[in-house]
Amino acid sequence: MVQTYSRHGPTQAFGLVCSPSSNSVYDGKLAYVPALEDVLVWDVKTGQMVAMWHETGHRVEVTCMERSPKGATFAVGYTDGSIRLWDVVSKSVFATFNGHKRAITALAFDDAGARLASGSQDTDLIMWDVVGEAGMFRLRGHRDQITNIRFLSKYPSSMPSTSNNITSCLLVSSSKDTFVKIWDLSTQHCVQTIVAHRSEVWSLSLNSEQDMLLTGSNEGELKAWRIEPDALKDGIKELENGELSKAIHPVSTLPLTSSHRVSQIAFHPTLPYLFVQSHDRSVEIFRVRTDDEIRKKHARRKRRADAKGARGKSDNVNNVPDSKDVEKVELADLFTPYLVVRATGKIKSFALSEEARTKGATQLFFALSNNAMDPPEAVRLYSLDLPGHRMDVRTLSLSSDDNLLASASNGALKIWNTRTTSCIRTLECGHSVCSSFLPGDEHVVIGTKSGEMQIFNLSSSALVENIKAHTGTLWSIHIRPDQQALVTGSADKDVKFWNIDWGQGQSDGGSERRTVSLVHTRTLKMTDDVLSVRYSPNGRLLAVALLDSTVKVFYEDTLKFFLSLYGHKLPVLSMDISYDSKLIVTSSADKNVKIWGLDFGDCHKSIFAHDESVMQVAFEKKSHYFWTVGKDKVLKYWDGDKFENIQKLEGHFGEIWALAVSNFANFVVTGSHDKSIRIWEKLDEPLFLEEEREHHLEQLYESGLADTLNREDLPIGSGDPTFKGPERAEATNVSKQTTETLMAGERISEALELADREIEARQLYEKAKEGLSEQQLAAIQPPPRNPVLVAHNIEPEAWVLKVVEGVQSAALHDALLVLPLSKVISLMIYLSLWAEREWNIPLISRILFFLLKTHHHQIVANRAMRTTLIPLRTHLRAALLRQKSTITYNLAALQFIRRQSNSRRTAQFYDEAGLDEGKALTKITDVKKRKRVDI
């Protein structure tokens, strides 16, 4: 009989405030911050998490975020090159864009929120239609990672656009290739390339008037550029000297107090301030001077120049500054240093709030890279850091009833409720390396890097005792099975034994409370550093792991040597003994896990478990199954009797340092370098090893197939490494094959096959009925309908349409590329039927134009396609004309309603004294403008 195992699944990560992988967004009340693969929404004032944007099954880290001008939509980019559009109200994804091959690094919405521009590490820019949920085109020209994108919406393109004004504007982008490029979106070409800096360009920003561009480099240089509106509106032309006109000209360099990388530049949307982040822990704020202030400054400068000139003439000095040269406007005249705001940690990004502005001040939001959110020290309003660790989670331990979880890092011990994942206590401690709950679950003991043992009382949230136990790092603590003593192992080569001494003391309120202390009883000297100590569950043996890659086993009562387990090539970092005291499993820095018998010390099996060092291992209670975690960011579940890997669980984005297994074998907890804590629960779903392997192989095949289809250097199916594809065009279509698009293409192909068989069977039946008598007709049975069509009570052509409509709009073109030509011809027949019945005409038109563009040569060469294309043209044109007339009628009605509204408003203004028709219309226009600004 095939053995089944219990499948484990992840729950949401906790202990995270924000992760340093992406920028953050702040609206004055709510902060939208990345949390590994999720997005967290925090109420900064109350410190409460309002929402978590989590998509089930999506395990890719967030790298970029951008809010739409509409406010209710967020674009979130991920490391796999995908972009998801989140709805703030429903907290769900309503569109997914796949076009980039590597991580998203820059996002920008246009003013209407109808288009989204994305930049990636793959050096490409892609323009997305948010309303149509499809890619418009891909722009190529940069040679390194895109770092920033901005729309130049105030300068429409000089070229006429065929799609109204939505594409007729400009885009400016910066990259690590030291270039800044201006793109004309109507012609889909680069109109100017600027060599902006000597090193990588990391930041870019435009002022509200869009006549000044600021760029920041990796060397800490901040440059200003002047934008010429006439050059952008008239287009690039040849000048009299033969050179091309330029739209952007250099102005000056703004001096900064720091020479670090200028990682972010931002103009305040309403106030005259410029924010520049060029240091790890601070943001410089510059005030933008008004025209009057600049004129006064120039006047003072001119007076000083004239005074110097008068003195120079009297002193016969030739080098006298000319007052005309002094009148030149410099960047330093426009910006004046105002304030330097410092944070408590390294700043990943900052965000400005336009709404929450009180008494002329503005709120500045910091997202720190140490898992905290910190407003600046200028006037600190709120701070949010308690729900998570600032440093790596190095040790985890569970209480005896699994209700409490203790996690410790450098400087902080936190107690969590495992059911609600809420932080109950936060205590200051030393640099923690190991920890354990003491019997009774009222106290937690931790071992520190300085060799101290610190005992904390959870009810009073106080440090009870600080014991200088060892002179080196205290690597391991383990409670004896009888709950009366514990053992510690340290880098000072000592194994020390401690009795747990309970007593009664007085609390602050005068009531008696239970106290605890540890009494040192004996010491076992070893020949090398002790990395791990472990009691056997029967209490007879003590295992000690040493730095010399061996494990020594002693009798617990006499400390007499019993066994030596050697075979690892690097030190054993962790070990555990099974519940029946028959097996001991050891994990090492040599990436191997070894299973030993405790009877004779024989090695049952050596398993290459992880791609990096195996940091911790633990047996599941009442079984020979065990868990391992490693620096390869993976948690693995093993069968200790059959030596097989049961399940591989991925989810962390950093090295996994800590592991804790439930006392009731319900779940397992892991802590990582990414500062998150994850609980992996046991599910009711059974797990079969053969099915898991088949599923894994299918995933590898599908991902490999998608990668092959996405390759541009080789023709599909060739394998010739000497083949060189065509030169990359500057503008191309947006296409990327993924597992989802391959599956969508297969679903369309299966629907076409099903419908073709159904229609063919129906036609054969109708042909067989011709020329038969009524008695013969009664003897012939109609063909049975397909069960799928019967279940949905739908016709074959309607079933194909339903399947096509079920494909996401952004993935439709990629799904159609998967279809072979025979299926394309079959689909064209159904397009004609749909157009005749006027079913979803916009979708039919979109599919038809794409198929004709993609398979033009094959369709033209196939004479049989005439019988399909001619009726399709007739039906589609008739349907489009009817829809055009309907839209025209509706537009005329809307214009009529607007004219009626304007006439009523004009009549109202006529009633006022001294107002003629012209003045009334002018006043109406002014009121409309004011309302538009207010909105």
Q: Is the pLDDT of residue 361 over 70?
A: no
341: exposed, middle or buried (C-beta count within 10 Å: 0-12, 13-18, 19+)?
Answer: buried
Give the separation between CA 709 and CA 718, rounded to whole angstroms.
11
Give the separation between CA 379 and CA 365, rounded to whole angstroms.
12
H/E segment holding residue 206: strand 201-206
Give the model confidence (pLDDT) of 635-669 as tens digits: 999 999 999 999 999 989 899 999 999 999 899 99
CA distances from 755 to 788, 817, 821, 841 (A): 11, 20, 17, 20
Helix then strand then coil, in percent of the chain rounded to 5, is: 25, 40, 40
Per the structure block, which two tokens stand in for 852? 């004709």
Per the structure block, which two tokens stand in for 20? 């340093």
| pLDDT for position 605 | 93
246: exposed, middle or buried (C-beta count within 10 Å: 0-12, 13-18, 19+)?
Answer: middle
Q: For residue 161, give the 3-state DSSP assignment.
A: coil
The residue among 925 and 642 whose pLDDT is bigger is 642
Scanning the structure block, which residue is given the tokens 């007729």? 168
Give the model confidence (pLDDT) of 816-830 as tens digits: 888 888 888 889 889
Q: Compute CA 408 distance to the chain's CA centroid, rounded to the nearest angstrom.
A: 26
Q: What is the mean pLDDT of residues 530-543?
A: 94
Q: Is the pLDDT of residue 435 over 90?
A: yes
Residues in contact with 208: Cβ distance below 8 Å, sequence separation at least 6, in sequence order = 267, 269
Contact 872, 828 (CB under 8 A): yes
Q: Is the pLDDT of residue 325 over 70?
A: no
Give the model confidence (pLDDT) of 676-729 as tens digits: 999 999 988 888 888 888 888 887 877 777 777 776 654 433 344 444 444 567
H/E segment holding residue 355: none
Contact 156, 233 (CB under 8 A): yes
| pLDDT for position 162 | 44
Q: Is the pLDDT of residue 8 over 80?
A: yes
Contact 80, 60 (CB under 8 A): yes
Confidence class for position 401, pLDDT limits 50, 70, 90: very high
Give the separation between CA 526 and CA 625, rounded to whole angstroms.
31
Q: Is the pLDDT of residue 601 over 60?
A: yes
Q: HSE (CB half, 13 Å, CA atoms) of 295? A: 3
Give the model confidence (pLDDT) of 207-245 as tens digits: 888 888 889 888 888 888 888 877 777 666 766 666 777
| pLDDT for position 34 | 92
| pLDDT for position 112 | 86
Confidence class for position 537, pLDDT limits 50, 70, 90: very high
Scanning the structure block, which residue is given the tokens 């001008």? 69
Max mean pLDDT among 324-328, 370-374, 684-688, 928-932 falls in 684-688
Q: Where are the alpha helices (DSSP H) in 315-341?
A: 323-326, 331-334
- Indicate the pTM of the whole model: 0.81
What is the average pLDDT score of the chain? 83
Per the structure block, which two tokens stand in for 89? 């109200």
Bridge partners of 551?
545, 565
Backbone angles phi, psi at 102, to 5 degrees: -135, -175
Give the separation between CA 337 and CA 353, rounded to whole angstroms.
21
Q: For residue 396, give the 3-state DSSP assignment.
A: strand
